[in-house]
Structure 1
Amino acid sequence: MESRLLFRTATEEDLPHIAQLDREVFADVAYPFFVLRQLFDAGFTLVVVDDSERICAYALAVGSGDRGWILALAVAPRRRGAGLGRELMRETLCHLRSLRVREVLLSVEPANASAISLYRSLGFAEKEGTAGPTRNYFGPGEDRLIMSLTL
């Protein structure tokens, strides 16, 4: 029997589970627990997907003025390919829209074709004024494609 998925705002008790998922998905570039804790305490948006067994996906976002950023989107490998990332992005974008954000930005690894395809299907495009990936965005050898969406 398939478990029900609950999309909700993260609680303090979710933080260790989010950190574990982040390590599972992003390995060496995962957020350290203390950073997730501080972002949570600072009021950043953390939307989780709870499958009644554990947190199986999360999105981290921030909105300031009319601009917002999607800082992370992670889906457990066992849950990929079923549209969960798309639904999580929609929930997160809805939340940013409620904050009166008008433009949402994100960065994505240029080789991550599935993520880029997802973002494009949601209306994101390469940020105006950029020509391909921004070199060394996260440091030497860490290029990222910057994408934006007008809400």
Structure 2
Amino acid sequence: MVTLAPAAAGNWRDITRVKAAETQREWVADAAYYLCLSAYDGLWRSYAVQDDDGAVVGHVMWAVDTDDGSHWIGGLVIDAERQGQGLGRATVRALLDLWEREEPSLSGTAYREAALSVAPDNEGALGLYRSLGFVETGEQEDDEVVLRRPRS
């Protein structure tokens, strides 16, 4: 349903055109911000989310926590025009599958656990992640609740 392609010279402009739904903008930044984090912060890796036709329909980024080796998901945005089609769910599954297949060759760290943080009032995102096996841990990252999912 989706493929993930590393952000690169050939797709970064398409990624910047991804816009969250108006109702989600309090919880997510613009995709261009996430691209800058990946390019200049030295931690995150940005990916274009592409549909079956190769069109960029979203953005996701990931990083490895250097303290505990967990693989973090961040900056997941599906374009407002394409929401409600299961693309967010498919993106998370594709990222988990990527780690299952490719790690530790991507980051140098074995994949053992996925993690993410969500605003406690973002009920849509919480429902999605819980349905994919993520569990709240009681931890907080800034003002967000942390959810984790062990490797399958």
TM > 0.5 between the two?
yes
Cα gap change, 1:37 to 1:14, in 2 (>3 Å): farther
List gaps (5 residues or longer) in structure 2. 104-109
Post-superposition offset of 1:112 = 1.2
Alpha-carbon contact 1:106-1:146 (below 8 Å) kept: yes
How many residues align? The count is: 135
Q: Which has the higher helix share?
A: 1
Q: Report the counterpart of residue 111 of structure 2 in structure 1.
A: 101
Please tell me the residue identity of whatever aligns with 1:59. V
Cα gap change, 1:94 to 1:64, in 2 (>3 Å): farther
Q: Report the counterpart of residue 107 of structure 2 in structure 1.
A: none
Alpha-carbon contact 2:2-2:90 (below 8 Å) kept: no
Larger radius of gyration: 1
List gaps (5 residues or longer) in structure 1. 138-142
Cα gap change, 1:115 to 1:55, in 2 (>3 Å): same
The CA RMSD over aligned residues, in Å, is: 2.8
Superposition map of 1:114-133 within 5 A: 114-127=124-137, 129-130=138-139
Q: Report the counterpart of residue 75 of structure 1 in structure 2.
A: 78
Q: Distance in 2 between matches of 1:83 and 1:94?
A: 16
Q: Report the counterpart of residue 146 of structure 1 in structure 2.
A: 146
Of all paired residues, the percent bearing the same amino acid is 26
Post-superposition offset of 1:8 = 2.9
Q: Distance in 2 between matches of 1:76 and 1:32?
A: 10
TM-score (normalizing by structure 1): 0.72
Deviations 1:41-74 (A, max 9, x none): 7584433233448421121111356311101111
